[in-house]
Structure 1
Amino acid sequence: MDEAMDNLLDLPSMVDKYHSLMPLEEMQSASDEVPSAALGVRSTVLKGINMDDGGAYALRRIDGRQVLPTGELLGSSNSTMHRWGKVQHPGIVPLRRVFVSRDLEESSALYFAYEYVAAAVTVESAYLSPSPGTSPAQTQLSCSEALLWSFACQLTSVLRALHTSGLAAYPGALHPSKVLLISRSRIALGSGGLPQILAREDGSTTDTSHQLPVLMGGDLAAAGLLLLTLACGPGCSMPSLSLMARHYSADMVQLVGTLLEAGTPGGIREVGEVMHLLADHLMVEMDQVHLYSDAVQRELSKEVENGRLLRLLIKLGQINERPDLDRDASWSETGDRYLLKLFRDWVFHRSTDTGTPDLEWGNIVEALNKLDAGVPEKILLMSRDEMSMLVVSYRDLKRCMETVYSELQMKAQTQAQQAQAQAQQAHGPQPGMHTGHHRR
């Protein structure tokens, strides 16, 4: 906790146009030049809020002492960002901006602003970092085979989208510390495009037709290494297929072995070959996606209904028991407003036959839905003193509510215009305005 607080105190109030900075990983000291295992250079990740759009972004800073932020590098970085921006894929966190700033550590450095994914963690921290007091053997099977098949399908889909667009992910983007776990079973590349930029500091922005097949093979091998590392689990310094075979099926071991040999003589070279090996599991993955989509649609439909009823409740709340309007203290107690007040009591203040409050939500939802639809069904409303009873339909009540609410809106608009006119009179005519006749 003390170390985290120290990191916050060391941060500036702004970096370029980003404020409310917060470290997303343990920050290194300025004197520590240990490079990232994935990127080969020292980097820092911060969360910042963009003052232009109010959005949250993950800002990855590349140490300016290890990578000099030249104009050529900035230009090639922006070109690569635009190329990656054309690949719209749920497994790639979008890179939105590249800029240079010297607000942190008082030295110019290159920054990459990615969309911030709330609650995301790296697969390294989720599956490869043993929990305190837990032995590696106890946490070795934290990544189940079903989950590993899902990860394999997702990685294949990402690489297919990149390779068909003439791009390569580069092994650094497939390192466990750069792949994000964005939900219970979904992963995404969190540093897409960055390894390519760092690997091409000469200013070139595209890979040649000769290089691309080699890079594609490297991507497949890196995906295989990622799956192997996850399968062997935390505490395993030397992941191997033999160790993996103790806990996973022969089909999974064969897939990983095939990926590891990608790009070598006799090995696979294209992502399409991997898709043939994953055919059955791709179908399972698609079924799971549709099931999840159906569940989300059901929840969304509930929220739509909730929003519709909320609008009704707000309108009724602004009409009922209003102290006064136009200096009429009995405004909400007369005419259509009185009917709406009795309806409110009938819906929310019911009692059972024994006199206890009726707290059944179903009756309330049913009554509000009928009011919203304006059905012709009639109900009996009783005054609070039980001296009078009124028979009225939901259709009539809906008409009353719309009429009264329109009255409120018109009154609010009129008062706002009057207040604006009074303010203009109080401040006098504005400069440049003609207030009288011109003298001849």
Structure 2
Amino acid sequence: MSDTLREDLQRRSEALYSTTPIPNINLMAFRSLPEEVHKYHSLVPLEGTDKERRTSFMGCTSLVYRAVNKETGDIVTLRRIEGFRLTNETAFAPVDKWNSLRHPNIAHLREAFTTRAFGDYSLVFVYDYYPSAQTLYSTHLAPPDPSVLAALHSAHAHSQSSPQSSRQRHYRKNNNGRGAGSSSSLNLPGNGLGVGEPAGPIEEKTLWSYVVQIVSAMKEAHDKGLALRVLDATKVLVVGKNRIRINCCGVFDVLGYEHRLSVEAQKYEDVQALARLIVALCTRGQLNIATQAQQTKDAITRTYSPDVWELIFFLAQPQQRPLTVDKILERLGNRVLMEMNAAQGYSDQLEGELMGELENGRLVRLMSKLGFINERPDFSHEPRWSETGDRYIIGLFRDYVFHQVDETGNPVVNLTHVITCLNKLDAGIDEKIMLVSRDEQTCFVVSYKELKLCIDSAFGELARRR
């Protein structure tokens, strides 16, 4: 498995089970969280608890927690709307529609419920949990944290004065091509910028990937009679390399149920929101197309191809008839094919990685069988069971694989030899090897096929006596 993929998966695994509060958490508020809410327990905040850091929905602030479903063991995300008292149970009707919608670019809404477990009237939405996910805002638009900048500047100054650190930076650059130890690539939380780096524009390839994924999600929702209503940089999650999921779907449908717009009006607002989101990503949120159209056009055409501005203008201009998602897809054309090709290429890459892990699994199972058999002290009232019959040959094979020595008596530590032998054994090929006892008085010439039969027979004997 590649180092990049391994690190990413390990980071996600750590995020799944970490109980350490994130920065900007009010520890008193964290400790006062209820032990259980509805059927969920082990709540851990995922966002800062300071009021200015909370996400707002129609004037209502929200907090996000990771939690565990006590019935299934699933790890989920709880989005709690504070101080909201639901007066009409029919407002939950959209939740069922969103629950039935499954799309690779939409965070799945599982359920919603009201609770007083937090000491107030709260409305809670339950979504699938995506470990290590960041919003588009924190990934591309958020300014660097000054405290983090200061710490990294200090670390960088120290590394510049250390020859050993310089050598380490050079070594890492040769390994991953990014110069991971250099100041220009020290990663900051959120925006991925280096120390002192100005915020650079999002790459056009990445931008088009985001647009295609959002339009795909929009089409799925619109075809089901729903609207996303959350196309904002703070509501779209980056869950992998250029992979996004639209978060918080269904929240506005419930909160604004009493004063809801027509579905057509909501769909139109999705299109306008997409145009605003593209402009925000291209200009780092510094320009507004509604009031600064010419400045926006100039800024975008300086950095991106004409296709980007043409799409924005197409989305934002007034239409005699409401613009449909199908029309947008026609406009995207080749970009959709490019995204599909990239997705299939990445799928091939992951399948290749998975094949390697599949081989590892086979070898682990084989070594586990050998571990069960070799040097077992007693079985079925036979103290020397593992040293007689076929098991004796299995023990000699263990020595052949792991206990070889060179002409000076030093152990041969050759992983290639080990893996090659185990692969041949797992395949059960006809190739023969000579196994010699430790006193060199006895030898056997056996094939890997015969050895495999011996191991399966011995392991089967153990398994039958459970």
Secondary structure (helix, strand or coil) at the match of 2:73 reads coil
Q: What count of residue pairs does the alignment treat as equivalent?
A: 392
- The amino acid of 1:218's aligned partner reads E
- The residue aligned with 1:325 is 379
Q: Choose from 52, 63, 86 the match for 2:82.
A: 63
The structure number with the bigger radius of gyration is 1
Q: Does 1:47 align with 2:103?
A: no
- The residue aligned with 1:76 is 91
CA distance in 2, matches of 1:241, 1:37: 30
Q: Does 1:174 align with 2:228?
A: no
Secondary structure (helix, strand or coil) at the match of 2:238 reads strand
- The residue aligned with 2:48 is 26
Aligned ranges for residues 382-393 of structure 1 at < 5 Å? 382-393=436-447
- The amino acid of 1:258's aligned partner reads F
CA distance in 1, matches of 2:308, 2:237: 22
CA distance in 2, matches of 1:230, 1:255: 14
- The residue aligned with 1:140 is 199
CA deviation vs aligned residue, 1:218-247 (integer Å, no higher than 9, x gap): 10110111111111116x264633333332
Partners of 1:25 and 1:44 within 8 A in 2: yes
Q: How far apart are residue 85 of structure 1 and its match?
A: 2.6
Q: How far apart are residue 43 of structure 1 and its match?
A: 1.3
Partners of 2:95 and 2:109 within 8 A in 1: yes
- The residue aligned with 2:266 is 215
CA deviation vs aligned residue, 1:89-124 (integer Å, no higher than 9, x gap): 1001111111111111x1222110001111111111
Q: Does 1:99 align with 2:116?
A: no
- The amino acid of 2:297's aligned partner reads L
* C-alpha spacing 1:247/1:39, structure 2 compared with 1 (3 Å): farther
- The residue aligned with 1:162 is 221
Q: Does 1:402 align with 2:456?
A: yes
Across the aligned residues of Structure 1 and Structure 2, the Cα RMSD in angstroms comes to: 2.4
Q: How far apart are residue 343 of structure 1 and its match?
A: 0.4
CA deviation vs aligned residue, 1:378-400 (integer Å, no higher than 9, x gap): 21000111121111121221121
Q: Does 1:129 align with 2:142?
A: yes
Q: Choose from 112, 116, 126 the match for 1:113.
A: 126
Secondary structure (helix, strand or coil) at the match of 2:60 reads coil
CA distance in 2, matches of 1:383, 1:301: 36
- The residue aligned with 1:247 is 303
CA distance in 2, matches of 1:37, 1:107: 17
- Consecutive unaligned residues of structure 1, counting only runs of 5 or more, are 414-440
- The residue aligned with 1:435 is none
Q: Choose from 278, 285, 297 the match for 1:227.
A: 278
Q: How far apart are residue 314 of structure 1 and its match?
A: 0.3
* C-alpha spacing 1:308/1:35, structure 2 compared with 1 (3 Å): closer
Aligned ranges for residues 281-360 of structure 1 at < 5 Å? 281-352=335-406, 355-360=409-414
Q: How far apart are residue 21 of structure 1 and its match?
A: 0.8
Partners of 2:280 and 2:287 within 8 A in 1: no
Q: How far apart are residue 139 of structure 1 and its match?
A: 3.9
CA distance in 2, matches of 1:2, 1:255: 39
- The amino acid of 1:350's aligned partner reads Q
- The residue aligned with 2:162 is none
* C-alpha spacing 1:125/1:144, structure 2 compared with 1 (3 Å): same
CA deviation vs aligned residue, 1:27-86 (integer Å, no higher than 9, x gap): 246xx9x9845543211111111111111111111123xx3223x24x432x21221233
Q: Choose from 259, 263, 270 the match for 2:315.
A: 259
Secondary structure (helix, strand or coil) at the match of 1:88 reads coil
- The amino acid of 1:242's aligned partner reads D
- The amino acid of 1:303's aligned partner reads E
Q: How far apart are residue 370 of structure 1 and its match?
A: 2.1
Partners of 2:24 and 2:50 within 8 A in 1: no
- The amino acid of 2:62's aligned partner reads S
CA distance in 2, matches of 1:265, 1:399: 74
* C-alpha spacing 1:233/1:2, structure 2 compared with 1 (3 Å): closer
- Which range is displaced more, 128-137 or 87-96? 128-137
TM-score calculated relative to the size of structure 1: 0.83
CA distance in 1, matches of 2:297, 2:197: 19
CA distance in 2, matches of 1:281, 1:226: 18
Partners of 1:168 and 1:219 within 8 A in 2: yes
* C-alpha spacing 1:256/1:267, structure 2 compared with 1 (3 Å): farther
- The amino acid of 2:212's aligned partner reads C
CA deviation vs aligned residue, 1:274-316 (integer Å, no higher than 9, x gap): 1122111111111100100000111111111111111111000
Q: How far apart are residue 353 of structure 1 and its match?
A: 5.2
* C-alpha spacing 1:188/1:139, structure 2 compared with 1 (3 Å): farther
Secondary structure (helix, strand or coil) at the match of 1:246 reads helix
CA distance in 1, matches of 2:311, 2:424: 58
- The amino acid of 1:94's aligned partner reads H
- Consecutive unaligned residues of structure 2, counting only runs of 5 or more, are 1-22, 150-192, 290-295
CA distance in 2, matches of 1:352, 1:274: 69
Secondary structure (helix, strand or coil) at the match of 2:42 reads strand
Partners of 1:91 and 1:187 within 8 A in 2: yes
